[in-house]
Structure 1
């Protein structure tokens, strides 16, 4: 039921905004004052009353569905409790600011006279933190993830004296690529509507997500390197001297990491773009680094051979 717990605050916020709008719609100016600067809360943006209501309800509905589905997919994964808490905080903040915006426009002849005092924003932030804490408490503790799947034997790749070898494969995720496209579209729409700060943040997020949607994995005498297929320069390197041993095993993104992408969990982290074979590096600090990629057993064997040679020097 955690997915419903994640969606509930958004449903409540939608109902509250719709109720407030129904009660004051006949007393609102047209257009509404809906965007305020940070130096005294003076108005610097307008929206039609109907457009303001539609945008806020759609925004909350989409966020509620996304978070509900996300929590449903990773309901047993570590960190889900914090995702639910974040959702409660966001729903409270959006709901409060939307209702306050409607109420400060009531009975105003000219929307240019509307002001949003900073103390109201502070109240909204405090309420969002309290609601986030309530969501965290209601979610209860996260379940312990299932025991790690056993790693394969640490094989070696036979190389003659003086021989060197390298291994490289590409791995991609249509799901992550689709998320990048959706984020980019959201950035363009919000930018068109005038909120350049949010649009810029979403644009950066789209670029980052798109960069890891397809990755080139390389193992050679220098260690492991991960580079986006769009940008050849590696964004992650793990040299040989940071690794104790390399193995391979089957990896399930949801069960083992709680989702897809670049993930960090207690005791392990990695790039998991799909289910299947994974290269597993046991690091000198006791953690694991995992990359899901085809032919991971060969990559692990070559990595171990390179490790042995480095230790002999």
Structure 2
């Protein structure tokens, strides 16, 4: 029954325009400003900075000026790949368009914001990395991502009009009987420890042999700690008369599917090489996923045919409880 549902889709032209509008605008402004600043910029221009913040890569102002076009090019490639992967599913393609618009605008803004503090400087080697420029580029990228998402139509209501299929698992449930289910899933601890410890050990060994600086080791330690937290963060799932709620470290807000939108729930298996391209909050050919580890997962199909998958222990029990609750009051 759910296989016949028509999933709302976004058109290719609309996705391309929504993803490319902001990067093209940022790139055009950057090219114009580079031209206006040409007499004030040193030649060569600092375009790369090392771990200590000192300039260690240089290029001509002309090359830096036209490098901003990498932003729209990046956005074009990303939106093509992401919308293709998501099969133009409106609910997931919207996220892909936002990612393409945000990353493309960030890439287009960085060369200009790296060049801005070099105006009037005689030797670009004396310039240190302008942290404020990177922050400003990130803000521009975030605004562009928001605008890109808003340019794609909202999926709208996804209510299911019929009960889950007869072959879908469900628990016996009386008319007025209440039921609540909860569960969680997380990556094995040894995986998180490996992600957090191994890079630090390698960086420490390089420091001991003079192949790395203390600052680099500190940066590696901070990044490794953040990655370990992400890897070990559990996904928690709750099911009751309101529907399904799934929480993880990312996204910050819980993902909710009202009971009225649940067309079918089934237990599936997520493998190491899964259809979501990795772990965490993902989008892919199978829809949206909150993937914490390989193994059993709950897959929920909405009334519009879109799917949400979340890894959780006892996924079969979760599917049976959700189907039983969703079947109430439906023919």
TM-score, normalised relative to structure 2: 0.43
Greater relative contact order: 1 or 2 (C-alpha under 8 angstroms, separation 6 or more)?
Answer: 2
